[in-house]
Amino acid sequence: MTGASSGIGHAAALAFAAAGDRLVLAARARPGLDKVAAQCRAAGAEVLVVTADVTRPGSLDAVADAAAGGFGGIDVWVHTAAVMVYGRLEDVPAEIFDRVVETDLLGSAAVARTALPRFRAQGHGVLVFGGSLLGTIAAPYMSAYIASKWGLRALVRVLRLETRDAPGIHVCLVAPGAVNTPVYRNAANFAGRIGRPPPPVDPPEKVARAILRCAERPRATVNVGAAGTFVRLGFTLFPRLYDTLVGPLMRRGGLSREPVAPTPGNVLAPLPPSGHSLHGPWKPRRVLRAGTVLGAAAVTVLAVRGLARGRTGR
């Protein structure tokens, strides 16, 4: 499991541990991994820990070798490692933009390049990627992350086509909307305000349960979060209205009022242990109510606009 030291990866590790699975946990930062490993062992799981960086593909071989040597092979590889940057494209340093793409997209390809040959050799395996609602829509101030997640969705689709000759191999994508994890505060930031998950916000445990179900009964794509359906519909069916609304909504719901000086966040290097945790500081239940109202309002606007156009066209 790559990206296991915090957020969704942390929650997924706990979910697999509770299910009785044996785990190899990997991420860049050893202190965060050791904390997660201790929690998984307390749940009764056998756990190995490997420090690995997906931007250094050779380190992924160590993850695979640990699984093969310790447990005899890899049945499921869950990949949730990702970094993020906020800011307009022209304000984001090229080094930061490129590293986000390298981590989130090229790192995913490196994981697939490591896992799939081993799956073929043993005749089976499930590869689960952590995607995002932002892999199907667009929003301002997150160009590197969104480009990467769009690319990941395409990569996963291609990998499914290329493994059709191997019925025992499954490539899956679990795509949540906003999740209460530290990724937003840990992100690189050149937008002037700290990012936050726009409502409605799901807990990482909800996404972890979806990942576990996908590993047990593989599905091509699993979307997590009901609001995502409405957002995708608006993006697809009403692009002009969507483009008008998404900027103000992003500035109001996706950026906090807390100012921040330009920072590389955790993009170039891991943050101290305080930056690794299961949850972010947001309260999903309260934000969920606000998001439900916001989503309902947006759907109403879209529906009224659609009806008005229909009448005009008759």
The answer to whether position 2 is within a domain reads no
80-114 confidence digits (pLDDT tens)? 999 999 999 999 999 999 999 999 999 999 999 99
CA-CA distance, 6 to 3, in Å (whole number)? 7
Whether the CB-CB separation of 20 and 46 falls below 8 Å is answered with no
HSE-CB of 247 using CA atoms within 13 angstroms: 6
52-69 confidence digits (pLDDT tens)? 999 998 899 999 999 999
pLDDT band at 284 (very low <50, low <70, confident <90, very high): low
pLDDT at site 300: 47
The answer to whether position 1 is within a domain reads no
**Percent of the chain scored above 70 by pLDDT?**
90
Whether the CB-CB separation of 210 and 191 falls below 8 Å is answered with no
What are residue 173's DSSP bridge partners?
129, 221
pLDDT band at 291 (very low <50, low <70, confident <90, very high): very low
DSSP per-residue string spanning 237-291: H-HHHHHHHHHHHIIIIIEEEEE---B-TTSSSPPPGGG--S--S--HHHHHHHH
CA-CA distance, 6 to 112, in Å (whole number)? 21
Domain containing 52 equals: 7-313
Residue 290 has pLDDT above 60, yes or no: no
Does the annotation count 242 as an active-site position? Answer: no
Whole-model pTM? 0.90
Q: Peptide bond preceding 200: is omega within 30 degrees of 0, i.e. cis?
A: yes
The answer to whether position 211 is within a domain reads yes
Number of domains in the chain: 1
- Determine which of 36-40, 59-63, 227-231, 306-310 has the lowest per-residue pLDDT on average: 306-310
Residue 288 has pLDDT above 70, yes or no: no
CA-CA distance, 136 to 122, in Å (whole number)? 33
Question: Which is catalytic among the residues 86, 145, 184, 242?
Answer: 145
What is the rounded average pLDDT of the residues 223-228? Answer: 91
For position 160, which CATH number holds?
3.40.50.720
Mean pLDDT for all residues in the chain: 91
